[in-house]
Structure 1
Amino acid sequence: MSDDYLLLTLLVSGLCTFLIRLSFIAGERWLPRSERLHALLRYVPMSVLAALVAPELLMRDGVAHAAADNLRLWAGLLAIFVAYLSRSVMATIAAGMTALWLLQWLQQ
């Protein structure tokens, strides 16, 4: 792939991302202002995060892997538990990463 093609791809992707975000800002006056919509929009960040994290926890080499030897899954479950108890992003990240590193170290 040439450098020009890569640069064009990055520019077009950036422009599309910008236009998608702008559409919600500029189009706010046409969106309904209902309480139900606002209640539903509260769950968008959590669902996006789950969609980003779940494949890392449940897949290995493109194949579903939810077995007992899946260390990422165990570390993720611990992080979910810490998040539930502490409601702290930093505590969740620290617990999950520490658990993953510790489990990987113990497995060696």
Structure 2
Amino acid sequence: MNFTLMIAGMALITVFIKAVIFILGERVVLPPLLRQALSFVPVTVLTAIIVPMVLAPHGRGLEFSWRNPQLVGAVAAVLACVATRQQLLTIAVGLLVFFGWQFGVLA
């Protein structure tokens, strides 16, 4: 029950904040420093989601091993991104290496 109330409260706060900004629209003027700081939020959230999944895929501690297909795929994706700067190719390389490693090398 406590988790349900907590999730409902977080949802209400999130909807309220977004609704206020949507309703006020152009009348809300954010300082340049805050606007710049908010531009980093998507990258930060994505990093906070991806890094634990790559480094500790089973939730039992860090797995810095060649037997971790998530880590191998992530390294390949980073290398592809640095080399090409193409998002779709980076995603494709990461997925191909991940699945190839998981079902080919570790099978």
TM over 0.5: yes
The residue that corresponds to 1:57 in the other structure is 54
Displacement of 1:48 in angstroms is: 1.4
2:97 maps to which of 96, 99, 104: 99
Aligned residue runs from structure 1 range 6-21, under 5 A? 14-21=11-18
The residue that corresponds to 1:84 in the other structure is 82
Gaps of 5+ in 2: none
Name the CA distance, whole Å, in 2 between partners of 1:78 and 1:66.
15
The residue type paired with residue 44 of structure 1 is: V
Distance 1:20 1:66, change over 3 A: farther
The size of the alignment, in residue pairs, is: 102
Q: Normalization by structure 2: what TM-score? A: 0.69
The residue type paired with residue 21 of structure 1 is: K
* RMSD of aligned Cα (Å): 3.1
Instruction: Judge conservation of contact 2:74–2:94 (CA < 8 Å) in 1.
Output: yes
Identity of counterpart residues, as a percentage?
Answer: 27
Distance 1:11 1:38, change over 3 A: closer
CA deviation map 1:27-57 (0-9, x unaligned)? 872532x2x4444333222121111100110
The residue that corresponds to 1:45 in the other structure is 42
Distance 1:10 1:41, change over 3 A: closer
The residue type paired with residue 16 of structure 1 is: I
Distance 1:91 1:17, change over 3 A: farther
Displacement of 1:81 in angstroms is: 1.9
Q: Normalization by structure 1: what TM-score? A: 0.68
Displacement of 1:74 in angstroms is: 1.0
CA deviation map 1:39-88 (0-9, x unaligned)? 43332221211111001101133222222321110101111222233333
